[in-house]
A and B are shown apart, each in its own frame.
Chain A
Amino acid sequence: MLSRRIIPCLDVRDGQVVKGVQFRDHVVMGEIVDLALRYRDEGADELVFYDITASPEGRSVDRGWVERVARVIDIPFCVAGGIRSVDEARAVLHAGADKISVNSPALERPALIDELAAAFGVQCVVVGIDSLRDADGEWHVRQYTGDPNKTQALARRTLDWMIEAQQRGAGEIVLNCMGSDGVRKGYDLEQLSVARAVCHVPLVASGGAGTPEHFRDAFIEADVDGALAASVFHSGAIAIPELKRYLRAEGVAVRL
């Protein structure tokens, strides 16, 4: 039986791992390779690295640290950050990343998803979606969330975009529920459950993890395939080995 995945997310800025609250006010959490090794040792199932300033600054991800991580890490990792073309994606994959995740550039030009899937197969292509509920009661997509001054609210509905992304070749969707990000009150189960119903590829929850129960709820109630978190892991508030033992005791299939 396929295990549910625990995925620490490392936001990268200027070669270091940082974390902000609701995507703002970043503080340095540590060195990329050190944190990657720590999470590997603790039993993380996968790592995601977001070069959070790449897209707002209009540049692609720095490949140097991708290669450094690939040399030492023996679990899968995904790299995101300003990947705008097949060539840029190829460079990141050849540097050793297992998957690439696109967000803002796919919103700029949705055909990017088709091109990436055709070049590397859907299994390499993750589409990240930053989503926030607006006054009309609907969830809408946000773009350039790495920089609060450049973040844009789009008219595009989150669920419409999720369906389109799959049709174009997304092999996995990471749904960042911005309303719950960084405040540790739990994943947005309502939004994730609605997303689950239209998401036929692996779905990864992001935003809001504060306690082990939050992970259980995301897996059992929203039926997500993976749960991504940052601050609770970086701060040590939740240790991955204990989290996984708890989840297994609660009947969630996890790798120990």
Chain B
Amino acid sequence: MSVVLVDAGGTNIGSVRYALQRLGADAQLTSDAATIRAADKVILPGVGAAGPGMARLRELDLVEVMRNLTQPVLGVCLGMQLLCTHSEEGDTDCLGVVPAVVRRFDDMPGLRVPHMGWNRLVGRQPHALLAGLGDDDSAYFVHSYAVPPGNYSLATTDFGGEFSSVIANHNFHGMQFHPERSAAVGAKLLKNFLSL
């Protein structure tokens, strides 16, 4: 099985690659359209802001390539947000393969943004990506923008209200947290993705 990591400039690429290595998958880091199209699994990592993230994909001429993929795709953190239609962060149009708009967390008393730390994943609909997810399973989050709940939500998480922590639409999947930094829970979910 070939797994590629789309090199969109995020600083967590190394960590995601090591996490895949620990699961026995040697992921190739690439920005080559043909390599991405030919892969069995495509992962779009990403740390940073939506605007620069999309700008990088445009520079690499990967916007249409990503939109037209038919194999399982996983966006991680910013990578998940880039799968959505639009992000409030820098008023950015994104890939639009998941019908969702990314919003900033509302200012609320006691809500410290960025949402940084471990928080619980609550499964909302059965999906192979969530196989084996337990009631008390938490993942590690670091983000200031989030996807509201919707039909695409596989799991949600509570931070001053529910937001989508795992999403899916057709072959496109997203995890708002960092599976590569979420200990055994993250390894389980990454393994589930590799098994899709």
Among A87-95, A127-135, A175-183, A207-215, the stretch in contact with B:
A87-95
Q: Is A188 an interface residue (CB 8 A)?
A: no
Contact yes or no, B181 A124, CB < 8 A: no
Chain B positions 104-162 with a Cβ under 8 Å from a chain A Cβ: 112-120, 136, 138, 140, 142-144, 158-159
Among A13-21, A54-62, A71-79, A142-150, the stretch in contact with B:
A71-79
Contact yes or no, A74 B143, CB < 8 A: no
Q: Is B176 an interface residue (CB 8 A)?
A: no
Knowing that A74-B183, A124-B11 touch, tell me 5 more A-B residue pairs with CB under 8 angstroms.
A40-B183, A71-B18, A75-B181, A75-B183, A123-B114
Listed residue (B136, B143, B159, B181) with the most chain A CB atoms within 10 angstroms of its CB: B181
Q: Is B47 an interface residue (CB 8 A)?
A: yes
How many residues of B are counted as interface, with CB atoms below 8 angstroms from the partner's CB atoms? Answer: 36
Q: Is A29 an interface residue (CB 8 A)?
A: no
A interface residues with partner B (beta carbon < 8 Å) = 1-5, 40, 45-46, 67, 70-71, 74-76, 90, 93-96, 98, 120-124, 171-172, 200-203, 225-226, 255-256
Contact yes or no, A3 B118, CB < 8 A: yes
DSSP class of A's interface residues: helix, strand, loop or mixed? Answer: loop
Q: Is B187 an interface residue (CB 8 A)?
A: yes
Distance, CA A2 to CA B115, complexed state (A): 8
B interface residues with partner A (beta carbon < 8 Å) = 11-12, 14-15, 18-19, 21-22, 47-49, 112-120, 136, 138, 140, 142-144, 158-159, 178, 180-184, 186-187
Listed residue (A1, A74, A94, A255) with the most chain B CB atoms within 10 angstroms of its CB: A74
Q: Provided the pairs A74-B187, A171-B116 are in contact, do residues A121 and B181 lie with their beta carbons within 8 angstroms?
A: no
Contact yes or no, A95 B14, CB < 8 A: yes
Contact yes or no, B158 A1, CB < 8 A: yes
Distance, CA A74 to CA B48, complexed state (A): 20
Contact yes or no, A122 B114, CB < 8 A: yes
